[in-house]
Amino acid sequence: MLRPQATVMLSRVAHSLYWMSRYIERAENVARLLDVNLQFVTDFQDIAHSKLNTWESLILSSGDEELFAKHYETPDSRTVTEFLAFDLRNPGSILACVFSARENARMIRDQISLEMWETINELYLFLKSQSTAAVWSAGPQEFFAKINRASHLFQGLTSSTYSRSEGWEFLEFGKYIERADKTTRILDVKYHILLPNATDVGGALDTAQWQAVLRSASALEAYRRYYVREILAWKAAEFLIFSDSFPRSLHFCMARVDDFLRRILGETGTRPRSSAARVSRRLLADLQSLTITDVLDQGLHEFLMEIQATLSTISDEVVATTMFYPAESLLEDQQQQQQQ
């Protein structure tokens, strides 16, 4: 169970630290995914409309196809970018994530460092000053780069200025569980692209797509240093799933999730007592024992769906056990104001 002193200190604070960390990580991942996809479609614009389904694949992998269909007719560069980057009706959009992260930071202003608050507030003010038309006019690449740099700055300052206390455990747990989830979704984008184009497997286009997948996870340079030679589908998937040294691979993230989960829940023994710790330990053991052949035999998509469900189970139990407040949401605040 949670340590008694942490229960008193961090019930409200833990909730805000956890969601603040997840929202910043989520905004960065969505920005990188959109940026890479825009560049990919530009490079292959001659066949993008006839053979590729990249924009619809982003919506499918996000799991928000019903919400998207409610507000937009066709998935294309404009509508998908609007939905995933600027639409506050989508709680997973970049704007909604940063606004919610800032609101959580504001609630615990006295618990985080000045540098952390200034960085997240500056990003919030930057986004408030932007409009969709202005971003498209200036070129969305610089906009996405700004989001990524701000996220890296925030995480670096957090590492440098935040005490290694109970709060640090919630920050890191939130960051890595979000990162693991987004890595599964980045890999799943490739699955959805391939559905109507299985004949392209192994060709130049297939290689370019896997290169885009690696870039979406900031893994291309690390992959090339590890494998040196050409980009192969099974090697790219293996690297993003099983690498124990790359900080965005599933294995690396789950090792950190398992570590901080056990600290948060006070799981000091060798035999986990909570169901979340048992589920986490089983998933980590699978990532340590399975091979890419095992994953491909099972089906990459099915494997990724199971991991997403497991991560959701772990997160839900930790939130229910250690946090007694719902995540701060800008959308909820707006709805309350409208009702008033």
Model pLDDT for residues 60-81, shown as the tens digit of each residue: 888 888 999 999 988 888 888 8
Contacting residues for 105 by C-beta, under 8 A, at least 6 apart: 16, 20, 112, 116, 117, 120, 121
Look over the chain and give the mean of its residue pLDDT values, rounded to a whole number: 85
The confidence score (pLDDT) of residue 8 equals 41
Average pLDDT over residues 225-240: 88
Model confidence at 289, in pLDDT bands (50, 70, 90)?
Answer: very high
The confidence score (pLDDT) of residue 285 equals 95
Radius of gyration of the chain measured on its C-alpha atoms: 20
The confidence score (pLDDT) of residue 274 equals 86
Q: Give me the count of residues in the chain.
A: 340
Return phi, psi of residue 191, to 5°: -60, -45
Structural domain of residue 17, as residue ranges?
4-339
pLDDT at 51 over 50: no
Instruction: Write the pLDDT tens digit of every residue in 128-174.
Output: 888 777 887 888 888 999 999 999 999 999 999 999 989 999 999 99
Average pLDDT over residues 5-26: 80
Higher per-residue confidence, 192 vs 199: 192
Average pLDDT over residues 211-235: 89
Instruction: Write the pLDDT tens digit of every residue in 321-338.
Output: 887 655 555 455 554 444
Higher per-residue confidence, 266 vs 250: 250
The confidence score (pLDDT) of residue 136 equals 78
The confidence score (pLDDT) of residue 339 equals 41
pLDDT at 10 over 70: no
Higher per-residue confidence, 100 vs 39: 100
The confidence score (pLDDT) of residue 120 equals 96
pLDDT at 5 over 70: no
Q: How many structural domains compose the chain?
A: 1
The confidence score (pLDDT) of residue 29 equals 95
Higher per-residue confidence, 306 vs 4: 306
pLDDT at 298 over 50: yes
Model confidence at 52, in pLDDT bands (50, 70, 90)?
Answer: low
The confidence score (pLDDT) of residue 329 equals 52
Distance, CA of 101 to CA of 95 (rounded, Å): 10
Model confidence at 202, in pLDDT bands (50, 70, 90)?
Answer: low
The confidence score (pLDDT) of residue 157 equals 97
Distance, CA of 200 to CA of 318 (rounded, Å): 42
